[in-house]
Amino acid sequence: MRRRSLATFALFAVSSSIFTFADSVTLNTNATQLATAVTSGNTGVTVTSATLQGQSSGAGSASTGTFSNIYGLASGAVISTGNAANYGSGPNTTDGFTTDFGTTATAAQALLLDPISGGNTSHFDVTQLDLSFTVDPGISTIFFNVAFGSEEFPEFVGSEFVDAFGLYLNGTDIAFVNSLPVNIDHPCFAAITGTELDGVLACGNNPVNTFSGAVHEGTNTLTFIIADTSDHILDTTAYIGALGTSEPIPPIPSEVPEPSSIALLGTGLLAVAGAVRRRLIA
């Protein structure tokens, strides 16, 4: 049975802790180094500041890090509502990782999360990375490749547990897929192999989503934010590929199972899952 952690931890700013794992995720709670991972290899972008609000319970458990070769993305930063070390590349061997850091969204974070989580207004275990940056003359647009997945899938699709991810460029969310925000209720969610995540947002079975937005001369801002919604349990994770100033070529998706098999779960499984969740949070 899955159980929530009893520990509670406060949100923190920049730290220098780095922990290495052999599963393609290196835990890292240093905002500047995470910013470097997001912008590496792009000479037209200069990061001027970076701050992090996330969680850590010491060596071996932190909600942020860097990754390589996951879902076809070469490298970048990973942000999670749980322990990012659980979400390196590999088979899905555990049904529903949960790391409960026991934190509640601030009022400012709720303003970013409420519109992208189906109108639900309770958010927990928030991880937020903020960057300020400038661009070279002639650059007017930036692009990101992002993979987003969750342990909430498929049992809690259509419920109040709408974990979500936002990518705010100069105050406007640019993370939309087929005009819909990035959360677990998106109709393109499917069981995609590659990590421990039970479901990934993958239209056409491609887990990599490209987002873009306009930038201007002077200082621009970016906010990456992810959160559990309506309770602390069942983690959600986003892999943010290196920022680009020209449109990236989407990676070729790996062979994946047909999402139609999810339909076999039926509404009976949803009812059972709801009962399990109630026991977990009782």
Residue 13's pLDDT is what? 29
Residue 227's pLDDT is what? 97
Label residue 252 by pLDDT band (50, 70, 90).
low
Residue 7 confidence (pLDDT) above 80: no
Structure tokens at 150: 């969750």
Residue 273 confidence (pLDDT) above 70: no
- 36-89 pLDDT tens trace: 999 886 778 999 999 999 998 877 899 999 999 999 898 999 999 999 999 999
The pairs formed by 272-275 with CB atoms below 8 angstroms and a separation of 24 or more are 273/155, 273/156, 274/155, 274/156, 274/159
Distances (CA, A) of 78 to 19, 170, 222: 14, 21, 15
- Looking at every residue in the chain, the average pLDDT score rounds to 83
Is the model more confident about 126 or about 266?
126
Distances (CA, A) of 51 to 1, 127, 218: 36, 11, 19
Q: Which of 114-118, 202-206, 261-265 has the least mean pLDDT? A: 261-265
Residues contacting residue 63 through CB under 8 Å, at least 6 positions apart = 54, 55, 56, 79, 80, 81, 82, 83, 84, 99, 101, 125, 127
Residue 265 confidence (pLDDT) above 90: no
Residue 279 confidence (pLDDT) above 70: no
Among residues 103, 101, 105, which one has the least CA distance to residue 113? 105
Residue 160 confidence (pLDDT) above 70: yes
3-class DSSP string for the chain: CCCCCCCCCCCECCCCCEEECCCCEEEECCHHHHHHHHHCCCCCEEEEEEEEEECECCCCCECEEEEEEECCEEEEEEEECCCHHHHCCCCCCCCCCCCCCCCECCHHHHHHHHHHCCCCCCEEEEEEEEEEEEECCCCCEEEEEEEEEECCCCCCCCCCCCCEEEEEECCEECCEECCEEEECCCCCEECCCCCCCCEEECHHHCCCEEEEEECCCCCEEEEEEEEEECCCCCCEEEEEECCECCCCCCCCCCCCCCHHHHHHHHHHHHHHHHHHHHHHHC
Among residues 216, 56, 82, which one has the least CA distance to residue 136? 216
Is the model more confident about 251 or about 104?
104
Is the model more confident about 159 or about 20?
159
**What percent of the chain shows pLDDT beyond 90?**
67
Distance CA 83, CA 99 (A): 6
Distance CA 167, CA 158 (A): 23
Residue 196 confidence (pLDDT) above 80: yes
pTM of the model: 0.81
Label residue 23 by pLDDT band (50, 70, 90).
low
Written as one letter, the residue type at 220 is N
Among residues 131, 9, 26, which one has the least CA distance to residue 81? 9
Residue 278 confidence (pLDDT) above 80: no
For the segment 134-148, the average pLDDT, to the nearest whole number, is 93
Q: Which of 143-152, 249-258, 273-282 has the least mean pLDDT? A: 273-282
Residue 60's pLDDT is what? 84
- 83-125 pLDDT tens trace: 999 999 988 988 887 888 889 999 999 999 999 999 999 999 9
Structure tokens at 80: 């999670």
Residue 73's pLDDT is what? 92
Residue 249's pLDDT is what? 54
